[in-house]
A and B are shown apart, each in its own frame.
Chain A
Amino acid sequence: MELAAAAALGKFIGAGIAAIGAGIAAVGVGNVAANYLAGALRNPSAASSQTATLFIGLAFAEALGIFAFLVALLLMFAA
């Protein structure tokens, strides 16, 4: 019984730890956007041609945060 309770608690603690990954991915997404903006302000004429690259970069950074979110979901609902 104690063990089952500990396992149930551990699922939620694990999900919480996984959620930290989502937060760190947010830092990465912010980094991409910040560097894009810094570059765009220095050379505004080149900015519009790089928006596609910006979104690809955002998507790759964000995907890892989504993976962390997915791990949290799996721990809470599937494990």
Chain B
Amino acid sequence: MATEADGAGTGLVFHPMDQFIVKPLFGDGPVMWYTPTNATLWMMIALLCVVALFVLGTRGRAIIPTRVQSVAEVFYGFIYKMVEDVTGHDGVKYFPWIMTLFLFVFFSNMLALIPKAFAPTSQIAVTAVLGFGVFIAVTVIGFVKNGAAFLGMFWMKDAPLFLRPIIAVIEVISYFVRPVSHSIRLAGNITAGHAVVKVFAAFAGIAVIAPVSILAITAIYALEVLVAVIQAYVFTILTCVYLKDALHPAH
């Protein structure tokens, strides 16, 4: 690892992956499921931000919205339109679930960009729970709504008969890879972005290239803001696409 920037006597030595270590908040004990860690702390802060924006911000329910309320309305309208466009009219019933997912991922991603903050969405444990939750929920919805006809999703009626079993095998595999790619995409993007910022931060310890490095950090940070928004959007829209497949398996 070319990350030990020990130049110019700054003694700046750190590892770019150190920021993803889950530590207990109090003491050095082992991390159990109930231990308050930096990951749970930042997830809680994300939840508090959502509550502040949506519960406190829209408490007035003003006809002429206040500034906070209009921000909340923009979020609401954006996600509502997305659910309606992608899943169709009968998917609107699941809008609260998708809105919750979006807000959690969005606020976790954005709060992680604060210096010294921890990124809960960089942990595959966090995103896998979200991804497999979506997978299980969508599968259950598919079977409840369509019964055994849901399995018709894997059996292409348009394909030639001798190709159908092969396509069915591929479809089943791609169906089960979905939660894996769904969760690793989010965790990988966030991990990669934060690690790149840290690698450039290590170069900032070397006096000769420090200005270039700081410019690069600024540019990459801007890119990371974009990635944080886009990944939250992509996670949500893929949930909508999977939900659409469950509601209308025929097409």
Contact = CB atoms under 8 A, between A and B. Distances in A.
Given A63-B181, A67-B184, A77-B17, A56 B189 contact: no
A56 B192 contact: no
Contact of A63 (B1, B185, B191, B192): B185
Nearest to A64: B181
B234 A59 contact: yes
B181 A56 contact: no
Nearest to B86: A52
Contacts of B140: none
A55 B82 contact: no
B247 to A, nearest CB: 17
A69 B233 contact: no
Interface in B1-35: 1, 17
Contacts of B241: 56
A58 B235 CA distance: 12
Interface string B209-251: 0000000000000000000001001100110010000000000
Contacts of B86: 52
Interface residues of B, number: 18
A66 interface: yes
A70 interface: yes
Interface string A47-78: 00000100110110011001101100100110
Nearest to B177: A63
B189 A66 contact: yes
Given A63-B181, A63-B184, A66-B184, A55 B189 contact: no
A59 B238 contact: yes
Contacts of B191: 73
Given A62-B185, A63-B185, A66-B185, A52 B82 contact: yes
Interface of B: 1, 17, 82, 85-86, 181, 184-185, 188-189, 191-192, 230, 233-234, 237-238, 241
Interface of A: 52, 55-56, 58-59, 62-63, 66-67, 69-70, 73, 76-77
